[in-house]
Structure 1
Amino acid sequence: MQAEAIMTTPVIGIEPSASVADAAGLMLSKKISGLPVIRNDGALVGIVSEGDFLRRGELGTQRKRSRWLEFFVSPGRVADEYVHANGRRVEEVMSDDVVTASPSASLGEIVDLMTRHHVKRIPVVDGGKVVGIIAHSDLLRALLRVLPSPASTAIGDEQIRQNIVTELAARKWASTEMISVTVDKGVVELSGAIFDERERQAAIVAAENVPGVKAVKDNLFCAAPLSVILVS
């Protein structure tokens, strides 16, 4: 799946010259936590989010340091913090280092960008213009669309068992020789040995994701010696 399939469009943006009050009001009215900052020609110049309004002089939340610690901070950094705490226009408080993606970017690439840069939204840019935006909520909606729904047709117990065994066999952490799978009217029972407690929940999840499974009974036991310490 590509970015263009799940991105929100049209994009709610704001101009660089707009006031901080306008940006805050727009975010509240639209129930969004950030806005791309877009010039009249459609070019993306920055992004402004709720985080940019946390340290404000009006709220008394601007950054404060002791005198001796202030000595070690450069005047330029202090000046920059003053602008962010007291600026009146969006262009004065926005982040201008914006992480973007193309419409053809995969969802895996989008998530990699979000996690690597610690951002909650990615503007989608095509030909220098903002054509959409992807936030965490867009990924949640995409997940809802692809999550499996209850099977509309009955699947036999033996087929369910075989599907679970096949799934476990494909996973490095699972030992199919040690884990036994039985199925009765869609209810799965897992028994046998595991060697790491983390494998227990992984095996349960593997079974739960097989179509036709109604419930999973966990009768696995951990055979790892108590003296063994595993490195996470």
Structure 2
Amino acid sequence: MLARDYMTKAVATARPDDFVIDVAKTMQTEGIRHVPVVENGQLVGIISRNTLRDAAPSKATDLSKREINFLLSKMKVSELMKKDVITCSPDSHVEDVAHTMQTRRIGAMPVVEGEKLLGILTNNDMFRILMKILGMEGAGVRITLELARGKGELLVDIVKAAKDEGKTIKSLISIESPLPGRQTVILHLDDTDVTGVIEILEGKGFTVRSVNKIE
């Protein structure tokens, strides 16, 4: 899964000499939290809602709302933008991007080639990717199974059970279970009638933890 395939390509950007208040309006109207700053076609910084919030005077200030807006209206993006931007390339793996965003505690990562901005990956994009991985797009059934850790070969039995019942697998993922020595397998099928699949899996010794319809 590469960044180029999942990034948001239609990116709202700002210039260093734009007024901060105009960027704030863009964030509000577009429903976004991060705006890359571009100059001469190159990424030179990024500005976020948190940056704008921190720049605003404290609620304890004696300034009126009109005075605060006046101050912000005179402030340029170059005065607030973060210049040391953490970026990724279009060929970066999404899971590596997600790990970096989590460990560096950032909510967005511009995708660049050289210094040219191609797109952006945000927390919202990561949630969208997670939903795709879990097969949450479209109706079907999600079956959560438990098996002994180290029994990955049993995944073949899961695939065969779905095939024998004529069901299409939308997604199949295996993750470490919170239960000691166990592995959790999440199977998403495109059909709501999965009785036959469950009977086959239980007959092979799988523990079916839950069955949830997705509409």
Q: TM-score by structure 2 length?
A: 0.62
Residues 99, 216 of structure 1: CA spacing in aligned structure 2 closer, same or farther, 3 A cutoff? same
- Helix, strand or coil for the counterpart of 2:82? coil
Residues 207, 3 of structure 1: CA spacing in aligned structure 2 closer, same or farther, 3 A cutoff? closer
The residue type paired with residue 12 of structure 1 is A
**1:54–1:61 Cα contact (<8 Å) kept:** no
Provide, for residues 72-119 of structure 1, a one-character-per-residue CA deviation record: whole Å limited to 9, x for no partner: xxxxxxxxxxxxx99701110111110000000001210122122210
- C-alpha distance in 1, partners of 2:58/2:73? 10
Correspondent of 1:110 among 97, 112, 116: 97
- Helix, strand or coil for the counterpart of 2:126? helix
**1:56–1:86 Cα contact (<8 Å) kept:** no
Which residue number in structure 2 is paired with residue 192 of structure 1? Answer: none
Residues 169, 44 of structure 1: CA spacing in aligned structure 2 closer, same or farther, 3 A cutoff? same
Which residue number in structure 1 is paired with residue 161 of structure 2? Answer: none
Correspondent of 1:169 among 150, 173, 187: 150
- Helix, strand or coil for the counterpart of 1:206? strand
Task: Give the structure with the higher percent strand.
Answer: 2
Provide, for residues 141-177 of structure 1, a one-character-per-residue CA deviation record: whole Å limited to 9, x for no partner: 12222224646xxxxxxxx9xx854x63348xxxxxx
Which residue number in structure 1 is paired with residue 121 of structure 2? Answer: 134
The residue type paired with residue 97 of structure 2 is I
Question: Displacement, 1:198?
Answer: 4.1
**1:164–1:210 Cα contact (<8 Å) kept:** no
Provide, for residues 22-69 of structure 1, a one-character-per-residue CA deviation record: whole Å limited to 9, x for no partner: 010000000001100111x2111111001112234545468xxxxxxx
Which residue number in structure 1 is paired with residue 76 of structure 2? Answer: 89
Count the aligned residue pairs: 158
Which residue number in structure 2 is paired with residue 199 of structure 1? Answer: 179
- C-alpha distance in 2, partners of 1:32/1:113? 20
The residue type paired with residue 184 of structure 2 is A
Which residue number in structure 2 is paired with residue 13 of structure 1? Answer: 13
Moved over 6 A (4+): none
Is 1:124 the counterpart of 2:105? The answer is no
- C-alpha distance in 1, partners of 2:208/2:104? 38
Provide, for residues 152-210 of structure 1, a one-character-per-residue CA deviation record: whole Å limited to 9, x for no partner: xxxxxxxx9xx854x63348xxxxxxxxxxxxxxxxxxxxxxxxx9417x85x715548
- C-alpha distance in 2, partners of 1:213/1:86? 62
- C-alpha distance in 2, partners of 1:10/1:99? 19
Stretches of structure 1 that go unaligned for 5 or more consecutive residues are 63-84, 152-159, 172-196, 219-232
- C-alpha distance in 1, partners of 2:27/2:110? 16
**1:55–1:61 Cα contact (<8 Å) kept:** no
**1:46–1:97 Cα contact (<8 Å) kept:** yes
The residue type paired with residue 53 of structure 2 is L
Structure with higher RCO (Cα < 8 A, 6+ apart): 2
Residues 7, 60 of structure 1: CA spacing in aligned structure 2 closer, same or farther, 3 A cutoff? same
- C-alpha distance in 2, partners of 1:11/1:142? 18
Q: Report % sequence identity.
A: 26
- Helix, strand or coil for the counterpart of 1:140? helix
Larger Rg: 1
- Aligned 1:6-155 pairs, distance under 5 A: 6-39=6-39, 41-56=40-55, 58-60=57-59, 88-148=75-135, 150=140
Q: TM-score by structure 1 length?
A: 0.57
